[in-house]
Structure 1
Amino acid sequence: MIKRYYLIFILMFLPGILLSHEMRPAYLHIKQVNETTYNVFWKIPRRGDMVIRLSPVFPQSESLTEIVMPKLMEGAMLYSYSLTTSNPLEGQDLIIDGLQKTMIDVLVNVDYLNGEKVSFMLKPDDPEKIIPGKMSTFLVIKNYTVLGVEHIWFGIDHLLFVLALIIITKGFKKIVKTITAFTIAHSITLSMAVLGFANLPGPPVEAVIALSIVFLAIEIVKNASGQETITSKKPWLVAFTFGLLHGFGFAGALAEVGLPQTDIPLALAFFNVGVELGQIAFVLVVLLVIRALSYKKNWPLIIKKIPAYAIGSIAAFWTIERIAGFWF
């Protein structure tokens, strides 16, 4: 059974999971006010009181001055500047100072006075780019697909949920059905939230997502002891139900990054594609590891429960941390 072979995998990666936390991309929004002036909104991800030391640099510009005090937001710090330049911003260099020392990306959106909008990405190994004047469809597809893949890979809570589903689900066909149900569900609520048809506040959603992982961990322990549970009998139903909630979590991350206003459906579609590609890749890796460890047949009961205890402990810590964040 899958749960019998997962132990070594979870023990190999448990230290990384315990120390990891989702780090969302930084976001730079540049809005042209007149021929020589731009408003610049710079959002940097943070965890607790720690704010990453990053700053946008426009080498050919005359001044970049702060216009309001920095604003503390959930999971981020927002800075607002006024940028003055005697030459058009199009074609100028943009540098994110300090980016090469981090592991995060920066999504840049530029709104020109003539209505043209462009988006592009800066990465730690590519912290400098020339600001384009026009946005290609290919660039929108590429940027938001990459964002989707990165979000699922760095979203440790979402990955733990998927791992728990795999552990408790028996048989390849049933796993495919279960992961498909999870995909459909979070795609529905992600789209509805981004398009403004439904919304839930971020902190409670993140807390309940962590609680959903605790629930699955308990189900795994019961199942390992020989008890049939609703998850072991109908994992697709549990995956779909909680998947609706996880979709709001994905939407919160996408809202923080932003969407190009002229290409919202396209960007949303390929962000979702990126999430699914990242999720499929993760599931395949897990199944390959399980297959490689399939030589081991009979695990003791206590050993079979260790993955559930590990996953449940991490998720319980997140639940407490996120609920405490309501007040602190």
Structure 2
Amino acid sequence: MMLRAFWHRMLVSALALGAAGAAIAHEMRPGFLELRESDATTYALLWKRPTGGEVEIRIAPVVPDGCRLVTPDQQQLTPGAIVVRGTLRCPGGLAGKTIRIAGLETTMTDVLVRVQHADGRVESRLLRPPDPAFTLGAATSGSSRALSYLQLGVQHILLGVDHLLFVLGLLLIVRERWMLVKTISAFTVAHSITLAIATLGYASAPLVPLNAAIALSILFLGPEIARVWRGESSFTIRHPWVVAFAFGLLHGFGFASGLTAMGLPHSEIPLALLLFNVGVEAGQLAFVLLVLLLERAFSQLQIVWPRWVQLLPGYVVGSLGAYWTMQRMVLL
């Protein structure tokens, strides 16, 4: 009964992740548009478009009506982003003008827009594919900006299928509730450490090799899941929290890519780091709770699954881990 419930709790999660996996893994890399007012009609423009993932994100800001962008061709390539700097001239200012991100509606990413006015007012908005534009004209409260960072964190983990698949692999290996708590906590602590280190600028990891290493961490869990099926043991099965901590350090650099490529103002980095991390943890916890609730529901229904269905979650983890590893090694 325990083994059946153990596999029940994985089935729906594995199917959902497998269906979405290859298409959207790591496309959730937010863009960043900043406009700083230098006088009543002139704004310094900074645009960062994320790069380096499996899916090329083709988005660009649209100059508001009546405005003109000067030196729009000054670009530079930085880790994880293409940076464009220029000067936006808008007779009469930006009040009432509409900022729009072309191409955003065809992606699965977001763009954080930040407008710093000369009088100290800040307007900030997180633009999403269903709503790629907003009209300027009012200051944004600190709570509104905080909510944007929190939402970025939640979306980064829930759309980061590779991260969720790693967590699912851990759930397939760990059977005892206390060990599960210990393992998930170790993963959380580890990726929180490297998320903070990378966001604060103390360390960094090249995006393409990092993505390949994250895929390899998922592939690593495949044989361990097979050992659980056969009733065998290994260091990972006996001490899953150690493996979760070690690979969590890698995944933390992956989470940090959602913030470091944006180039936030130094004054907002501590707030952004804290709330982004809270959002990541909230999304991860929601996923784990969903799996546990599915386990309870299936055990109450006492559904008898065919053998191939019971093995499906493990094959999803191993197969997608292998696919992503080969795909990202080719990108190297």
Q: 1:159 to 1:13 in 2, by over 3 A?
A: closer
Residues 127-152 of structure 1: CA deviation (Å, up to 9, x unaligned): 33233564532022101000000100
Is the CA contact (8 Å cut-off) linking 1:140 and 1:266 kept in structure 2?
no
Residue 22 of structure 1: aligned partner: 26
Correspondence for 1:62 among 59, 63, 67: 67
CA contact (8 A) 2:50 2:261 kept: no
Distance 1:243 1:305 in 2: 25
Between 1 and 2, higher relative CO (CA 8 Å, sep ≥ 6) is seen in: 2
In the alignment, which residue of structure 1 is the partner of 2:324? 318
* Partner residue in 1 for 2:151: 146
Answering whether residue 57 of structure 2 is matched by residue 89 of structure 1, we say: no
CA distance in 2, matches of 1:43, 1:22: 17
User: Structure 2: which 5+ runs fail to align?
Assistant: none
Q: Secondary structure at the match of 1:28?
A: strand
Structure 1 residues 221, 293: CA separation in 2 closer, same or farther (over 3 Å shift)? same
SS at match of 2:73: strand
Give me the whole-angstrom Cα distance separating, in 2, the residues matched to 1:183 and 1:50: 29
Distance 2:272 2:55 in 1: 31
Letter in 2 for 1:141: A
Q: Confirm or deny that 1:197 pairs with 2:197.
A: no
Provide the identity percentage: 41
**Residue by residue, what CA displacement relative to the aligned partner does 1:108-164 show, whole Å, maximum 9, x if unpaired?**
123445666543212234333233564532022101000000100111110000000
What corresponds to 2:312 in structure 1? 306
TM-score of the pair, normalised by structure 1: 0.86
Q: Give structure 1 stretches of 5+ with no counterpart.
A: none
Question: Do residues 277 (structure 1) and 309 (structure 2) align?
Answer: no
- Confirm or deny: 8 A CA contact 2:169 2:218 kept in the other structure: yes
Partner of 2:46: 41
TM-score by length of 2: 0.85
> 1:214-239: CA deviations, max 9, x gaps?
11111111111111122221111111
3-state SS of the aligned residue for 1:164?
helix
Question: Could you tell me which of 250, 257, 264 is aligned with 2:262?
Answer: 257
Q: Secondary structure at the match of 2:72?
A: strand
Aligned equivalent of 2:215: 210
In structure 2, do the counterparts of structure 1 residues 244 and 191 end up closer, same or farther at CA, with 3 Å as the change threshold?
same
Q: Measure the CA separation in 1 of the matches of 2:67 and 2:16.
A: 52
